[in-house]
Structure 1
């Protein structure tokens, strides 16, 4: 693993080489500690994560006759300059992300919010201006290497030809040297089965897509190693229930939901109709109902036999009728 990390850092530095001198300086810092400081032949090398800050110091040898001196921090262009006279700051001009930190025998600058394109050699120069002639009091060079760790994600995707594919995506890393390998059940997958796409982003960072066609429901993981990481990252991809049954289960779930909604609607309609029917058959509270009169017309056709006398039949009629009054008078 240590050899692998050293090889990655070698590729990282090689990818930033713009000149023979710069490459030689960077390659000599291969074995420096990531995120720390190292020094070679008086040249300081600092490795910083993107978005962080770095302090660049500049030592110098003050002389007793120095009345006024200037301090400059520059790369390809001037970043910060100031003039001091008798420990008083006369002129000060710096970029927004650079802050001057005054000290007695050392000048220090804080460069904040470093981005990938801030990688390069920073030169700090201290020059005596008064009394003339000008004299160089100190000069230091610091190489700043800005790195960015990858943002890794894994997911299931479906290609245009219908194949089931898994994707491991590493975004925004710098430098470009990265190891990204698929793992199957804890073992490394054959690299030849992986389809990779590399892309350079506008901020000079890199993005790597790794695709792997699969036909089973096994556990897969994406293993990523980069010089900005203290240890490799492993992201696990949970397997689906089964690639072949995913579509069928989706349709079954949809049909079940539709049938359940229809059943609820039917039950609601039936209950509403029963409620309306009951409300129509029961009279409102407080309303009296007059019973239908019972007619006794059938009594006229019946004959009542008296238990007295010779048992002559007596016509039966309602009480108080004219017929009964006649019989009584007789």
Structure 2
């Protein structure tokens, strides 16, 4: 035998409230997930990233646009005043940051780990009044990229590579190596912040591409390098030094020849030119024992110059 119990009015109300509460929680969760996905941006160190900003009202004639980064002390990134009718635009951005004057998108070139944080875009409509503010908040997370460099090796047939992560203090990094995009290479040494790889021929050839992968906190970044023999590298350096020395020697020879020619020309222009002179009937006064010569008048002197 089954007993049938009627539901009271209060129980109906309780069930309705529970259903409303579940719907509100579900919609709130969906909204938060959508908002976080929309305003959360990720970029790898060294890339260019663009952060969006909401557009002002359609009837806006003149607006102020200001991008600010919020950290311990808020920093103004870009600040512009834009008039759509007169095309009056004035403002500035700090280095590596650029503002699109139409969409107000902020572009960050060569993004660094220090660029991570929360940014806000504030648009203030000035004309027509009244003044209206619209603010957009976005979050930027910059993922570190490994630094890959070649170390000196005493053996010309061997390559010594160092892959390291900078800017990560508390993260445990897992390093892996590959050649030409496939195959796994065993590192020589590896720890939480760097990994070393040593390859000797015939395990590698000129032109091979070795890639270092760094994984941390569900993030994986990479950096690659193309292998060349050290002899070729030294040969290129020596060729560059010889070329520079030859160019410097040629320039010095040209300067020396120019100085010598200039000195010769100056010497020729500064020489003394003597004119021919003819002296006639010119008698030089000389002391003679004959005293009669003192009573005679001196002869006239005539000088002709040719």
Which interval holds the TM-score relative to the shorter structure? Answer: 0.3 to 0.5
Q: Which has the larger radius of gyration?
A: 1
TM-score normalised over the length of structure 2 = 0.42
TM-score normalised over the length of structure 1 = 0.39
